[in-house]
Chains A and B, each alone.
Chain A
Amino acid sequence: MYEVNYHRATSVEEAAALFAKAGDAKFVAGGQTLIPTMKQHLAAPSDLVDLRHITALKGITVSGGQVTIGAGTTHAEVAGSAQLRSACAAICDLAGHIGDPAVRHMGTLGGSIANNDPAADYPAAMVALNAAIRTNKRTLAAEDFFTGLFETALEADEIIVSVSFQAPAKCAYAKFPNPASRYAMAGVFVARGTDGSVRVGVTGAGSSGVFRHSGMERALAANWSTGALDNVSVDENMMLSDIHGDAAYRANLVKVMAKRAVAAAG
């Protein structure tokens, strides 16, 4: 790892001020992606501003179906929250299958969505749950937040504070993990709102990162069943294609995962 200067912030304001004073700084939360990336010399920030000790970024609140999760909440905390499980179990299960137990003790929701790895799990949930992503500057809809592979609408000095969403009537997430890396080769989050509207978020498969599948959404809004997806086509031209799976394979996987998710949601 190249040399770096470390700063620990105890408030969002302090973090922003430390960032502004530093040179080519990056925020670090759990560091479960950034530290390995720096070790491989694929990132070389001059300064790190640590967000892990900011109390205001932590915690989960559920009130009348409205869920808010602090950006600094770890995957283990999301997976283990009883009140969140009663409102939206799918997001607990999703978090409980990220990485491994040690990674889940450090990795955070905010860190994951800020990184926007095309094979990360949370982006599919954020898009399907129509989450509002609040930063220290503004609030963004999930669809406007994720802009491409490892790209988001965040400005360099912008800090995610929390995400909020209305708990849906039904939802579930199904992923096909790569057998070696365990990252999603296709992961589909389906959510059916209390008004009957349906949103489908797909991760791991799209060549531009996470996306909604409008064809599946229409079919499932008309008929919430796995069979409704039989005649929906997934465009191969939108898919990633690599040594782990070509575009046609991934397109099929998206449909299979969507069916599994609908079946799991019940």
Chain B
Amino acid sequence: MATVTLTVNGKKVSGEVEDRTLLVQFLRENLNLTGTHVGCDTSQCGACVVHMDGKAIKSCTTLAVQAAGSAITTIEGLADGTQLHPVQAAFREHHGLQCGFCTPGMIMTAVDMINRHKANGSKLDEKTIRAELEGNICRCTGYHNIVRAIEAANAAMA
């Protein structure tokens, strides 16, 4: 057992976990932050994507103890009170979801993607968005409206 202390959505949290506990289990079961989903559990689907120190990672492929001391942002940490994050607002506006299971991971990936391309000054066009969604699987939408939502959010965040 280990005591892990980390910052989650701006708040310092601690928990007792086995060393083998995955970060996603810690978030969901210790902190009740169930917005982060477990889809495939084999690192492929991206439903579990969160940000660790500002970078998108797969929380089903990271141990909670590996994340100790880091700053984690989950889907619950994006909105500012009742004000949706621009990417969340764009997913709603452009109907970037159907069943919604993949959506938290899609949105966390999209926020990372937009921030990264802004930081290095590279253009985030449709082809790039589709390539960057390599690690996020949606079984409902065919991705069309997800891509539109990310394009719109990217423009809104300019």
Contact surface of A with B, Cβ cutoff 8 Å: 1-6, 8, 28, 31-32, 35-36, 38-40, 48, 50, 52, 76, 80, 99-103, 105-106, 182
Contact = CB atoms under 8 A, between A and B. Distances in A.
B56 interface: yes
Interface residues of B, number: 30
Interface stretch (B8-16, B28-36, B60-68): B60-68
A101 B51 CA distance: 12
A6 B63 contact: yes
B96 interface: no
B120 A100 contact: no
Contacts of A182: 134
Contact of B135 (A50, A52, A103): A103
Contacts of B49: 102
Contact of A101 (B20, B66, B135): B135
B20 A102 contact: no
Given A35-B62, A36-B42, A5 B19 contact: yes
Contacts, number: 77
Contacts of A6: 2, 19, 63, 65-66
B37 interface: no
Interface of A, helix, strand, loop or mixed by DSSP: mixed
A39 B42 CA distance: 8
Given A1-B20, A105-B55, A80 B62 contact: no
A35 B57 CA distance: 13
5 contacts: A31-B61, A31-B62, A101-B132, A102-B56, A102-B58
A26 to B, nearest CB: 13
B109 interface: yes
Nearest to B132: A101
Interface of B: 2, 18-20, 22, 41-43, 46, 49, 52, 55-58, 61-63, 65-66, 68, 109, 112-113, 116, 120, 132, 134-136
A85 to B, nearest CB: 11
> Which of A4, A35, A102, A105 is packed against the most chain B CB atoms within 10 Å?
A102
A3 B135 contact: no
Ranked nearest first, the 7 interchain pairs of A and B with the lowest CB-CB distance are A100-B135, A6-B19, A100-B134, A105-B55, A6-B65, A1-B20, A102-B56
A1 B22 CA distance: 9
Contacts of A31: 61-63, 66
A5 B63 CA distance: 11
A150 B66 CA distance: 24
Given A31-B62, A102-B58, A106-B61, A3 B19 contact: yes
Nearest to B135: A100
A50 B57 contact: no
B57 A106 contact: yes
A163 B7 CA distance: 34
Contacts of B116: 101
B104 to A, nearest CB: 13
Given A52-B66, A105-B56, 11 more contacts: A6-B19, A6-B63, A32-B43, A35-B61, A100-B46, A101-B113, A101-B134, A102-B109, A105-B57, A106-B57, A182-B134
Contacts of B42: 36, 39-40
Nearest to B4: A6
A112 B45 CA distance: 21
Contacts of A36: 42-43, 61
A1 B132 CA distance: 29
A39 B113 contact: no
Given A31-B61, A31-B62, A4 B20 contact: yes
A82 to B, nearest CB: 9
A179 to B, nearest CB: 12
